[in-house]
A and B are shown apart, each in its own frame.
Chain A
């Protein structure tokens, strides 16, 4: 869990002043969600580690310019999610691995096993979406941003965010229903 606003501001100011323990507190508070968000977009553990790690490195490099009165999370999540989208797109473009296909295959639930593994259903369904659509779902449901905040984070029109949310959720529910009926 991220710390409350007061803790976080103190950690940011401490890290800016060179405190390793404050940086560690900030890192420990934000790493789990940053890594999970990256993983849910890129669907690759090493890729997610790279993305999340690069985001923290970018944050460290820009630490001196960061306004400690602003929340750290949205700033970090913007970097994480945009880098994750770039990573997933680049991977798809280069056909390095059929990432979506591989993940869909890897996580496709076996018949009769659906109810026992709801998270795998969601992951497999998520894999069927384009990376930028996955990102909208992750920002909304994992990181709990409002559509307006998501539109600012991804620099997308609000209507685009809403339509991607709707389509993404429809796909998730459709796929999950499909699998449940098998």
Chain B
């Protein structure tokens, strides 16, 4: 086989969808080119006005209801971990952390650098972390990790809970009371289901080439559907409405956290559902450990006002107040928990000899320069080393 034979064969390989791909790409590329503009120059004449506006904002913050909320929050704050880092300057494991603050979503890199993605309400990573899909009002937007928009879908109804399929080729989202799916280049948007509950849909991770989605109906039932064939694979009715759906990495277990936090269910196939019982404790959040079917969850005991983080039967951490959310590091070695009352993040080591890593001043970290004390950010995902 000569060099020319190889070249001829490479040129003869039929490349699917070549012209359509070119047409779609040109639309995106030409739009990006048309949108190029020089960096705006700041007018010096505006500075006194900006300073006045800032002063006015400070005064307003002190007098307004949010301003009063600052005082309440300071009084309610509990003592966190003593040796907490003063700021989030490094993640203890590889990957990027996605959080959503009052301002919008932020991507935090391993070295602690943070990128604000824009004024969006919700966000989640694409499977390889190359993109983040965000929602705002009536728009679903795919953005690059530096915040550059890639494509947008606009619906007449408010949208939420956009989630990217593990295949990389589909994005599901809620629009009003419907569930819709769009091809991951922003085209081919279509209705998948009506009368759905306000719960984020969850894609089954394996087998990734099949686009299988779990979602909660408004009637309380949980459906598992093959999106491409529209075939319903299973349906179950938990004892209380679902609040969160989580698949195990192998796609065999679907964890359903239910309203009220008393009945998280997990199951798959004929054994679905089984119930995880936590008598006397409210479950605040739950996740499945990467590569296993072990449930990590946080419980809150109203009598003592204390929270506990569990990994299966193992108690990892107890704290005053609520440990709100848990997120695993991509390598499964750390469990990150949010602690709003202490304004701290807790990185809990699951293996090895490392100690707990606590980070302080989290609210301000994701609202730099804000005049009021912002809400505690939501921990959305930790992805892709």
Q: Which residue numbers of A lie inside 8 Å of B, CB to CB?
A: 15, 18, 20, 23-24, 27, 31-32, 35-36, 39-40, 45-50, 52-53, 56-57, 60-61, 63-64, 87, 90-91, 94-97, 102, 118-123, 137-138, 141-142, 144, 169, 172-173, 176
Contact = CB atoms under 8 A, between A and B. Distances in A.
Interface of B: 1, 3, 5-7, 9-18, 21-22, 24-26, 28-30, 32-34, 36, 127-128, 130, 148, 166-169, 184-185, 206-209, 384
A141 B22 contact: no
Nearest to B28: A53
Given A141-B10, A172-B6, A57 B32 contact: yes
A27 B18 CA distance: 14
Given A23-B29, A49-B17, A53-B25, A94 B167 contact: no
Nearest to B206: A95
Nearest to A45: B16
B135 to A, nearest CB: 21
Contacts of B148: 57, 61
Given A35-B15, A102-B209, A49 B185 contact: yes
Nearest to A31: B22
A123 B13 contact: yes
Given A63-B36, A173-B1, A96 B168 contact: yes
B24 A49 contact: yes
A97 B208 contact: yes
Contacts of A31: 22, 25-26
Contacts of A23: 29-30, 33
B163 to A, nearest CB: 15
Given A57-B29, A61-B32, A90-B128, A118 B12 contact: yes
Given A45-B17, A49-B17, A141 B24 contact: no
Contacts of A47: 168
B208 A94 contact: yes
A121 B206 CA distance: 30
A97 B12 CA distance: 25
Given A45-B15, A123-B13, 10 more contacts: A23-B30, A36-B11, A39-B13, A48-B15, A50-B130, A52-B25, A56-B25, A118-B12, A121-B9, A141-B7
Contact of B6 (A15, A45, A60, A169): A169
A96 B22 contact: no
Given A49-B21, A95-B208, A119 B13 contact: yes
B29 A53 contact: yes
A87 B160 CA distance: 28
- When A and B form their complex, which 10 residue pairs have the shortest distance between CB atoms, in order from nearest? A119-B12, A122-B9, A96-B208, A45-B16, A53-B25, A49-B21, A141-B6, A97-B209, A90-B128, A142-B10
Contacts of A95: 206, 208
13 contacts: A23-B30, A27-B30, A36-B13, A39-B16, A40-B13, A57-B148, A60-B29, A87-B128, A96-B208, A97-B207, A119-B12, A119-B14, A142-B11
Contacts of B21: 35, 45, 48-49, 52
Q: Which of A52, A60, A61, A121 has the most CB of B within 10 A?
A: A60
B30 to A, nearest CB: 6
A18 B384 CA distance: 36
B254 to A, nearest CB: 19
A127 B25 CA distance: 25
Given A20-B33, A97-B208, A40 B10 contact: yes
Nearest to B25: A53
A96 B165 CA distance: 10
Contacts of B3: 141
B9 A119 contact: yes
Contacts of A24: 26, 30
Contacts of B16: 39, 45
Given A32-B18, A137-B6, A142-B11, A96 B167 contact: yes
Contacts of B6: 122, 137, 141, 169, 172
Contact of A57 (B28, B130, B169): B28
B342 to A, nearest CB: 35
B14 A20 contact: no
A63 B34 CA distance: 12
A20 B30 CA distance: 7
B185 A138 contact: no
Contact of B1 (A39, A45, A172): A172
